[in-house]
């Protein structure tokens, strides 16, 4: 594959990701390492990796590329993505994580951040990294020093400085690591808690022998739900492959939408810090900004995507940020997302409230939601523009795709960054109203597609 075509395939909006070795191989990883070192201009860079079968060799190549520029490397070994963010924040240096997150076997990728865990994505430096990788800078006369650095103990201490572990006494939590790298950190965290861990698939295994590490897909929660049916814990949690996302299941075996978790966590933070700002993306439920206002906080609406959330959090000083997709961000965690920290926050919310999660959640879920629906079209942008004309009676904005709002319902239609798909999210007072609005939007998109938009 020619270099330009290869880079077109692997450089995404928020990270670098592709099939191994057809799109991403050791040579490409080494070039990216050299480019990132040149881009950062730092003395040292922290590098971690997940448990995918290709991650050790890709991480070694990435490290070689960084070192070739005379830049030192802190090799963090096999860890979670949020542990790289912790290293970038606590050690004040850029970080790189070799991971494909929740993608299937055969994929891998690289997530980058600057010192302090500041994001590197489209519009914040990823284009420059690509440009430098296409024409690699010459090596330095003396390679940078590579040293092994252990961050797990400090990471655990850091997480426990944000919550009050003593309040979690007696809680029982079922945690499904999906054979990803959550198993590197979750048992170590529970060793410090007066709570019980009921673990499932916590052994990192890049073959993912039990199920795909993408808990956004309902079928990947079945084993966790079966464990919870047997053990009856207070809370269930499933992590994606690199553990930066967490998905939760209540004591009645019902998954919690990301909006519900965002609202619960926002209320908890605002009780600790009244008047603070909380960031949420524009496809979170209206219950999220309503909860924030009710708790005396300032809701801040932003585009979907971690680089936008982190940037807005820095601008506003927000204490917390949440997305519908299971990413949750914390000011006291260098504005970085962490699935394990979110588990701890939700555990403390449960402990302080005293009610079962299945009961407590009801006050945060006054509306019905569709979840994200993919509509396949040949020309997404043209289709979305045409749909806007068919819903002219609603209030419209284009902060991220097309959002159309009425007093009691809304929908958002966003083009995918990587495929010819429009992503539809709908919220309305009840399930029937959601189905009706989904049908109307779907019909409008299909009408445009049939007309050759």
Q: What is the pLDDT of residues 90-146, one digit of tens each?
A: 999 999 999 999 888 899 999 999 999 999 988 889 999 999 999 887 899 999 999
Average pLDDT over residues 24-35: 97
pTM, to two decimals: 0.94
For residue 421, pLDDT over 90 is answered with: no
pLDDT digits (tens, 9 = 90+) for 64-88: 999 999 999 999 999 999 999 999 9
Whether the per-residue pLDDT at 307 is higher than 90: the answer is no
What integer pLDDT is reported at residue 378 of this predicted model? 84
pLDDT value at 381 more than 90:
no
C-alpha–C-alpha distance, residues 269 and 275, integer Å: 10
The position carrying tokens 């979840």 is 371
Residue 2 or residue 285, greater confidence? 285
Show the DSSP H helices in 91-144 as ranges: 126-134
Q: Is 141 exposed, middle or buried (0-12, 13-18, 19+ CB in 10 A)?
A: exposed
Strands 246-249 and 298-302: unpaired
Model confidence at 325, in pLDDT bands (50, 70, 90)? confident
Does the pLDDT of residue 451 top 60, yes or no?
A: no
Q: What are phi and psi of 348, to 5 degrees?
A: -70, -35
Active site residue 101: yes
Share of the chain above pLDDT 70, in %: 98
Up-side HSE of residue 246: CA atoms within 13 Å toward CB?
A: 31
Q: How confident is the model at residue 258 (pLDDT cuts 50, 70, 90)?
A: very high
Helix, coil or strand: residue 320: strand
pLDDT at position 416? 80
Residue 172 clears pLDDT 50, i.e. is over it: yes
Retrieve residue 215's tokens: 């808990």
Q: What is the pLDDT of residue 188?
A: 98
Position 323 pLDDT exceeds 50? yes
Does residue 337 carry a pLDDT above 60?
yes
- Catalytic residue, chosen from 68, 101, 124, 285, is 101
The 10s digit of each residue's pLDDT in 366-376 is 999 998 999 98
pLDDT at 449: 61
Burial class (CB in 10 A: 0-12, 13-18, 19+), 375: buried
pLDDT digits (tens, 9 = 90+) for 398-407: 998 999 999 9
What domains does the chain contain, in order, with CATH numbers? 3-149 (3.40.120.10), 154-249 (3.40.120.10), 258-364 (3.40.120.10), 368-450 (3.30.310.50)
Query: Where are the alpha helices (H) located in 193-257, listed in sequence order?
Result: 222-231
pLDDT of residue 453: 46
Rg (CA), the chain: 22
Mean pLDDT of 159-186: 97
Please name the residues in contact with 81: beta carbons below 8 A apart, sequence gap of 6 or more: 48, 50, 97, 99, 101, 111, 242, 243, 244
351 pLDDT more than 80: yes
Question: What value does the mean pLDDT take over residues 153-166?
Answer: 97
> What angle is formed at CA 343 by the lines to CA 106 and CA 411, rounded to 5 degrees?
75
């Amino acid at each position: 594959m020619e270099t330009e075509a290869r880079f077109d395939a692997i450089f995404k909006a928020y990270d670098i990701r592709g099939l191994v070795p057809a799109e991403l191989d050791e040579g490409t990883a080494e070039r990216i390492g050299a480019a990132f070192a040149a881009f950062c201009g730092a003395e040292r860079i922290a590098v971690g990796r997940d448990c995918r079968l290709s991650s050790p060799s890709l991480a070694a190549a990435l490290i070689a590329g960084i070192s070739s520029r005379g830049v030192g490397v802190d090799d963090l070994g096999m860890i979670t993505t949020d542990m790289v963010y912790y290293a970038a924040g606590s050690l004040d240096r850029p970080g790189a994580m070799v991971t494909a997150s929740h993608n299937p076997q055969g994929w891998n990728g690289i997530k980058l951040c600057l010192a302090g865990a500041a994001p590197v994505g489209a519009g914040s430096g990823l284009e420059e990294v690509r440009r430098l990788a296409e024409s690699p800078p010459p090596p330095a006369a003396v390679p940078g020093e590579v040293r092994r650095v252990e961050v797990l103990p400090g990471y655990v201490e850091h997480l426990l400085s944000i919550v009050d572990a003593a309040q979690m006494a007696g809680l029982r939590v079922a945690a499904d690591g999906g054979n990803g790298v959550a198993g590197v950190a979750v048992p170590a965290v529970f060793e410090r808690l007066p709570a019980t861990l009921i673990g499932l698939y916590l052994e990192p295994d890049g073959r993912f022998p039990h199920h795909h590490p993408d808990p956004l897909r309902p079928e990947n929660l079945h084993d966790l739900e079966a464990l919870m049916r047997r053990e009856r814990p207070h809370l269930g949690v499933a992590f994606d492959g690199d553990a930066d996302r967490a998905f939760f299941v209540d004591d009645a075996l019902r998954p919690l939408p990301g909006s519900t978790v965002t609202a619960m966590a926002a209320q908890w933070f605002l009780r600790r810090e009244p008047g603070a700002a909380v960031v949420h993306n524009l496809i979170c439920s209206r219950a999220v900004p309503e909860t924030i206002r009710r708790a005396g906080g300032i809701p801040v609406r932003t585009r979907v995507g971690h680089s936008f959330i982190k940037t807005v959090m820095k601008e506003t000083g927000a204490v917390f940020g949440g997305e519908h997709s299971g990413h949750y961000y914390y000011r006291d965690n260098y504005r970085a997302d962490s699935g394990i920290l979110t588990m701890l926050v939700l555990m403390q919310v449960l402990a302080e409230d005293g009610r079962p999660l299945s009961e407590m959640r009801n006050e945060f879920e006054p509306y019905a939601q569709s979840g994200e629906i993919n509509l396949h079209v040949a020309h997404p942008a043209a289709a979305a523009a045409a749909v806007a004309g068919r819903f002219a009676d609603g209030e419209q904005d284009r902060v991220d795709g097309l959002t159309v709002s009425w007093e009691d319902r809304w929908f958002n239609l966003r083009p995918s960054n990587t495929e010819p798909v429009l992503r539809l999210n709908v919220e309305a007072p009840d399930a029937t109203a959601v189905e009706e609005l989904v049908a109307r939007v779907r019909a409008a998109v299909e009408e445009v597609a049939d007309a050759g938009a």
